[in-house]
């Protein structure tokens, strides 16, 4: 959710913050604002709408300064208005603050502060924070041992706050300084050349530095023009660890593409190569992972796996479940992280717990991880963003290594999660009863996946034509079976996310138990119909739709002998190993939804009401 940037240095903070906000816009894009501290005064511009809108207002206002904070919002409390946009300023005009997260006890704090004469301009939960800081500041002695009055006021405030936050604060009495803090919302410090940048996401600072400190929950960072220090809510000093970001700004730029979603779809062959690099055993018969922090024999002892995730990552878990049960014969359960965290699900000692999350910051997935750890389970994370909260809190894990994913609709992160799921299935299967030669066959199939995806991507022009034909419909069904049932769910999700067409995903045979009532010439169905054991059953389901005049797009494997006339449009994918099929089958549904959304004139990379990473409940 919301994006945060703060700058302390010698350059023009406003342009650096605006550039950062542009890169963070995928985290929230309903309003934006910037505040600079100049001459012991706060100068603020904030606007409902996109960052471009803010940039125009900032230029008109001639906003300038060398210390500032900026924010792009995804509304939680309070509608999308100029007043509710961040930064918020305390009623004594001493503090400006930006916030990502939710303050759960804001109503009590607001009542308390109103009683003390503080006033509020917005409907947000955030505004209580800057006023509570101002309240503590007014009471704070001028100097507190070793720490500044500014830092201590923020620290005192945060001790009274329930909820989640990533914040950055300016104070007029401390020119050139910013205080930041985090709890369950990401915050990263970029350590540049005579400058510091605070951001909720590395993409906002990577153009200026690749040296970063990942702040931990409960930490407060104090930036001054010359240095920075980190301490905890309990006033303990923290020695910072400076890490290096391994990707560069070019990785998060559009290049020749119109949208990030398009770029990321076409990046998938390389992304898959990166995700599998170095992860096969020397004998070529199994997978190997460097960061699991669990021995092969401990892994072998596990009798059950539990996977938790949200959104697209949850679909990847469902495919993983199918592959692990199919090849490794271990029972797997998959749950929505948001349900698991409150469900008090029984787990036994031989259960290994996995979370999957591209961003590593999804609050529900993080909460599920914490709940599992609280119950004493070892938790493994499949995650893309190095240094994310989930990566740091898990006991071990597997990085996806696909570089930054900017498009809100997940594509390359999804297929790499499918690949890693298939590799986990292989790893466990080879410990159990998969033979050496079957293992070699499986490994070779996975190694061939990037080329099969490359081949499938060559169908883009054809899929674009099909997309034009179907872009005017208002309802669509996606139907698949076995490992492609989760792909049907993913196809429906992709389409509704970016084109706002109502779509549902179902197991093809379940269609008769309800969704068939929707079928008419106005409701097309996308069928996954690969060659295989139940191909004829899938064709029967297609016939049932056809008999009711439902238009059909079939995604089938080459040479599948699909009866003539059963589908209105056919997209062929290469024949492949069962572990690779879901990866290859993902490509047509990504392209189809992308081209339909473009045809409908939708803002593909910033679909309405959505955010790339959901850091609030
Ligand atoms: C949001 C995004 C989805 C994503 C989900 C889980 O809802 O819009 O595209 O699948 O979060 O994200 P994660 O980062 O945990 O994989």
Q: Is residue 252 part of a domain?
A: no
CATH number (domain holding residue 305): 3.40.50.10490
Q: Is residue 32 part of a domain?
A: yes
Residue ID of nearest Cα to ligand 1 atom 11: 613
CA of 605 relative to ligand 1 center, distance in Å: 13
Q: Is residue 453 part of a domain?
A: no
Q: Is residue 354 part of a domain?
A: yes
Can you count the helices (H) and strands (E) in the chain? 18, 25
Q: Is residue 254 part of a domain?
A: no
pLDDT in tens, 162-194: 999 999 999 999 999 999 999 988 899 999 999
CA of 50 relative to ligand 1 center, distance in Å: 21
CA of 404 relative to ligand 1 center, distance in Å: 13
CA distance 581 to 557: 9
Residue 472: CB atoms within 10 Å: 11
Host domain of residue 559: 458-617
The four Cα atoms 184, 168, 610, 479 give a dihedral, to 10 degrees, of -30
**CA dist 45 to 25, 27, 67, 70, 90, Å?**
17, 20, 14, 10, 15
Q: Are residues 239 and 273 in the same domain?
A: no
Boundary (domain end) residue, out of 385, 418, 447: 447
So what's the pLDDT on residue 144?
56
How many alpha carbons lie under 13 Å from residue 456 in its C-beta half-sphere?
34
Ligand 1 atom closest to the Cα of residue 497 is: 8
Burial of 149 (0-12, 13-18, 19+ CB in 10 A): middle
Q: Which residue has the tokens 């792909």?
A: 487
Q: Are residues 110 and 202 in the same domain?
A: yes
Q: Are residues 138 and 164 in the same domain?
A: yes
Q: Are residues 206 and 283 in the same domain?
A: no
User: Best mutation site among 318, 320, 357, 358 for ligand 1, i.e. most ligand atoms within 8 A of its Cβ?
Assistant: 358
Query: How does the average pLDDT of the chain come out, rounded?
Result: 93
User: Best mutation site among 613, 615, 616 for ligand 1, i.e. most ligand atoms within 8 A of its Cβ?
Assistant: 613
Residue ID of nearest Cα to ligand 1 atom 8: 612
Residue ID of nearest Cα to ligand 1 atom 3: 311
- Told to judge if 523 belongs to the known catalytic residues of this protein, a careful annotator would answer no
CA of 570 relative to ligand 1 center, distance in Å: 30
Q: Are residues 434 and 467 in the same domain?
A: no
CB proximity list for 146: less than 8 A, separation 6 or greater: none
In the chain, pLDDT over 90 holds for what percent of residues?
Answer: 81
Q: Note the maximum CA span of the chain.
A: 83
pLDDT in tens, 557-591: 998 889 888 999 999 999 999 999 999 999 999 99
From 448, 386, 484, select the one nearest 577 (Cα to Cα). Answer: 448
Per-residue pLDDT band at 512 (split at 50, 70, 90): confident
CA of 44 relative to ligand 1 center, distance in Å: 32
Residue 19 has pLDDT above 90, yes or no: yes
Boundary (domain end) residue, out of 382, 415, 447: 447
Q: Are residues 531 and 508 in the same domain?
A: yes
Q: Is residue 47 part of a domain?
A: yes
SS3 of the chain: helix, strand, coil, percent, to 5: 40, 25, 40
Residue ID of nearest Cα to ligand 1 atom 5: 311
Residue 228 has pLDDT above 80, yes or no: yes
CATH number (domain holding residue 95): 3.60.20.10
pLDDT in tens, 371-383: 999 999 999 999 9
Boundary (domain end) residue, out of 245, 273, 295: 245
Q: Are residues 433 and 357 in the same domain?
A: yes
- Told to judge if 139 belongs to the known catalytic residues of this protein, a careful annotator would answer no
CA of 311 relative to ligand 1 center, distance in Å: 5
DSSP result, 93-161: SSEEEEEEEEETTHHHHHHHHHHTT----SS-STHHHHHHHHHHHHHS-S-BTTB-HHHHHHHHHHHT-
Q: Are residues 422 and 467 in the same domain?
A: no
Residues with CB under 6 A from ligand 1: 310-313, 357-359, 362, 365, 408-410, 610, 612-614
Residue 146: CB atoms within 10 Å: 11
Residue 145 has pLDDT above 60, yes or no: no
So what's the pLDDT on residue 321?
98
User: Best mutation site among 184, 185, 313, 337 for ligand 1, i.e. most ligand atoms within 8 A of its Cβ?
Assistant: 313
Q: What is the DSSP letter of 586?
A: H
Q: Is residue 452 part of a domain?
A: no
Mean pLDDT of 71-83: 88
Per-residue pLDDT band at 358 (split at 50, 70, 90): very high
Residue 604 has pLDDT above 80, yes or no: yes
From 130, 96, 89, select the one nearest 113 (Cα to Cα). Answer: 130
Q: Are residues 237 and 282 in the same domain?
A: no
Q: Angle 436-457/581-599 helices, nearest 10 degrees?
A: 20
CA distance 565 to 360: 46
CA distance 59 to 78: 27
Ligand 1 atom closest to the Cα of residue 359 is: 14
Which tokens in the block code for residue 514?
A: 């309800």
Residue 500: CB atoms within 10 Å: 15
Residue ID of nearest Cα to ligand 1 atom 7: 311
Q: Are residues 55 and 160 in the same domain?
A: yes
Q: Is residue 257 part of a domain?
A: no
Residue 143 has pLDDT above 80, yes or no: no
Phi and psi (nearest 5°) for 274? Answer: -65, -40
Q: Are residues 230 and 299 in the same domain?
A: no
User: Among 54-58, 73-77, 448-452, 476-480, whose mean pLDDT is lowest?
Assistant: 73-77
Considering 22, 94, 546, 612, which one is annotated as catalytic?
A: 612
User: Best mutation site among 26, 312, 354, 397 for ligand 1, i.e. most ligand atoms within 8 A of its Cβ?
Assistant: 312
CB 25 within 8 A of CB 70: no
CA of 201 relative to ligand 1 center, distance in Å: 15
CA distance 215 to 233: 13
Q: Are residues 25 and 132 in the same domain?
A: yes
Mean pLDDT of 430-449: 97
CA of 407 relative to ligand 1 center, distance in Å: 11
Considering 2, 35, 130, 602, which one is annotated as catalytic?
A: 2
Mean pLDDT of 273-284: 96
Q: Which residue has the tokens 């997209």?
A: 571
So what's the pLDDT on residue 615?
76
State how many domains the chain has: 3
So what's the pLDDT on residue 142?
67
Ligand 1 atom closest to the Cα of residue 310 is: 6
Pairing of strands 552-557, 41-48: unpaired
Q: Which residue has the tokens 């005192």?
A: 156
Pairing of strands 332-336, 304-309: parallel
Residues belonging to the chain: 617
């Amino acid at each position: 959710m919301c994006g945060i940037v703060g700058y302390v240095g010698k350059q023009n903070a406003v342009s650096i913050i605006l550039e950062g906000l542009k890169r963070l816009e995928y985290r929230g894009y309903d309003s934006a604002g910037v505040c600079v501290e100049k001459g012991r005064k706060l100068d603020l511009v904030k606007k409902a709408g996109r960052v471009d809108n803010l940039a125009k207002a900032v230029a008109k206002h001639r906003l300038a300064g060398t210390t500032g904070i900026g924010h792009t919002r995804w509304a939680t409390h309070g509608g999308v208005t100029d007043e509710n946009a961040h930064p918020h300023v305390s009623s004594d005009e001493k503090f400006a603050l930006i916030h990502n997260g939710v303050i759960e006890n804001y109503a009590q704090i607001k009542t308390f502060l109103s009683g003390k004469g503080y006033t509020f301009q917005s409907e947000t939960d955030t505004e209580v924070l800057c006023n509570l800081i101002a309240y503590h500041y007014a009471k704070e002695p001028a100097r507190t041992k070793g720490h500044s009055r500014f830092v201590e006021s923020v620290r005192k405030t945060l001790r009274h706050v329930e909820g989640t936050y990533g914040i950055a604060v300016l104070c007029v009495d401390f020119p050139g300084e910013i205080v930041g803090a985090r709890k369950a919302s990401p915050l990263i410090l970029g350590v540049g050349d005579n400058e510091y940048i605070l951001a909720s996401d590395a993409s906002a600072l990577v153009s200026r530095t690749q040296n970063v400190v990942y702040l931990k929950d409960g930490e407060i960072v104090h930036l001054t023009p010359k240095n920075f220090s980190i301490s905890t809510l309990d006033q303990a000093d923290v020695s910072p660890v400076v890490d290096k970001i391994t990707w560069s700004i070019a990785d998060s730029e559009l290049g020749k593409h119109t949208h990030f979603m398009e770029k990321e779809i076409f990046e998938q062959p390389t992304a898959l190569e990166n995700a599998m690099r170095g992860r096969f055993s020397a004998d070529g018969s199994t997978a190997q992972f460097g960061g699991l922090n669990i021995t092969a024999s401990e892994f072998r002892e596990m009798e059950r796996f539990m996977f938790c995730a949200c959104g697209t990552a949850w679909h990847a878990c469902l495919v993983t479940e199918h592959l692990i049960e199919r090849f490794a014969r271990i029972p797997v359960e998959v749950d929505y992280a948001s349900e698991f965290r409150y469900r008090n699900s029984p787990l036994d000692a031989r259960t290994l717990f996995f979370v999957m999350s591209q961003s590593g910051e999804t609050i529900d997935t993080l909460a599920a991880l914490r709940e599992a750890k609280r119950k004493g389970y070892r938790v493994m994370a499949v995650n893309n963003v190095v240094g994310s909260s989930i990566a740091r809190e898990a006991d071990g894990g597997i990085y996806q290594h696909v570089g930054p994913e900017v498009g809100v609709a997940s594509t390359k992160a999804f297929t790499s999660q499918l690949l890693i799921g298939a590799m986990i299935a292989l790893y466990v299967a080879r410990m159990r009863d998969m033979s050496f030669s079957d293992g070699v066959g499986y490994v070779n199939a996975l190694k061939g996946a990037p080329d099969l995806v490359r081949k499938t991507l060559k169908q883009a022009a054809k899929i674009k034509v099909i997309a034009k034909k179907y872009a005017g419909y208002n309802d669509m069904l996606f139907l698949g079976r076995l490992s492609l049932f989760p792909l049907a769910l993913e196809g429906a999700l992709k389409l509704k996310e970016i084109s706002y067409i109502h779509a549902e995903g179902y197991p093809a045979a379940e269609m008769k138990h309800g969704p068939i009532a929707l079928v008419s010439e106005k409701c097309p169905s996308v069928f996954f119909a690969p060659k295989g054991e139940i191909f004829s059953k899938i064709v029967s389901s297609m016939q049932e739709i056809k008999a009711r005049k439902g238009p059909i797009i079939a995604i089938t494997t080459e040479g599948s002998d699909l009866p003539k006339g059963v589908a209105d449009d056919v997209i062929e994918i290469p024949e492949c190993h069962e572990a690779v099929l879901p990866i290859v089958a993902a490509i047509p549904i990504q392209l189809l939804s992308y081209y339909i959304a473009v045809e409908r004139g939708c803002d593909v990379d910033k679909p309405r009401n959505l955010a790339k990473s959901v850091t609030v409940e």
